[in-house]
Amino acid sequence: SQTIHQWPATLVQPVGSPLSLECTVEGTSNPNLYWYRQAAGRGLQLLFYSVGIGQISSEVPQNLSASRPQDRQFILSSKKLLLSDSGFYLCAWKAGLSGNTIYFGEGSWLTVV
Amino acid sequence: GQQVMQIPQYQHVQEGEDFTTYCNSSTTLSNIQWYKQRPGGHPVFLIQLVKSGEVKKQKRLTFQFGEAKKNSSLHITATQTTDVGTYFCAGAGSYQLTFGKGTKLSVIP
């Protein structure tokens, strides 16, 4: 069966520090991969999605970036965090073009102080 | 681009009362999906509706897809404290889902 792992689960980072969140999917190949952000008590904001290795689409311009170095690995990064980057970050996957359902990882709580 | 509106944003109900959340899309959807996010957790897939006018049930939850495939609803009968959470609808596009902002349900015991 397919599983998705996301880490770290929580982190507290100072303003201006870098960020790296990592996500891996097991049990499937060629998935579509996604990064969402959810501010406290708010909806899901799509940040990036990827349909293949090295292919990244950005939905919201900001100081975050994403990379997909391997088929089932998706990384969210920032060179310098802002206070407004605080939130709940969710990695998710979908079974390529044939699949409709998105499956979420357990999320990473980021607090920028 | 595609927009999915969801109402209400918040709903407080007494345990045992019914609850409904509504979802409207600016475009016709190929399918619509519903997710539930418990407090502190991640969204979990509940169901997918594909056909015009489709109705599906999961115990006390009833999901409907409109005839025009532009709206949907989730109805919970006789809410329980375990129903607490945020319910999201999501409309399907080619590569991604467009999520509504969710309805946060609180159940007063």
- pLDDT for B75-94, tens place per residue? 999 999 999 999 999 988 66
∠ CA(A112), CA(A48), CA(B95), 5° rounding?
Answer: 150
Rounded CA separation B96/B10 (Å): 25
Chain A contact residues (CB < 8 Å to B): 32, 34, 41-44, 46, 49, 51, 57, 90, 94, 97, 100-107
Q: Give per-residue pLDDT as tens, B26-49.
A: 889 889 999 999 998 999 999 999
State the pLDDT confidence band at A61, using cuts at 50, 70 and 90: low
Return the percentage of chain A with pLDDT > 90, whole number.
74
- State the first-to-last Cα distance of chain A, in angstroms, to the nearest integer: 38
Looking at chain B, which residue has its C-alpha nearest residue A87? B40
Looking at chain A, which residue has its C-alpha nearest residue B88? A43
State the pLDDT confidence band at B96, using cuts at 50, 70 and 90: confident
Tokens, residue A78: 């920032």
Cross-chain Cβ contact A100/B102 below 8 Å: no
Q: What is the mean pLDDT of residues A54-60?
A: 89
Amino acid residing at A19: L
Rounded CA separation B88/B10 (Å): 12
Rounded CA separation A19/A28 (Å): 27
State the pLDDT confidence band at A64, using cuts at 50, 70 and 90: very high
How is residue B70 annotated by DSSP? Answer: S
CB B20, CB B79: distance < 8 Å: no
Cross-chain Cβ contact B95/A43 below 8 Å: no
The answer for residues whose C-beta is within 8 angstroms of residue A67's C-beta and 6 or more apart is A56, A74, A75, A77
State residue B98's pLDDT score: 87
Cross-chain Cβ contact A44/B41 below 8 Å: no
Q: What is the mean pLDDT of residues A5-16?
A: 96
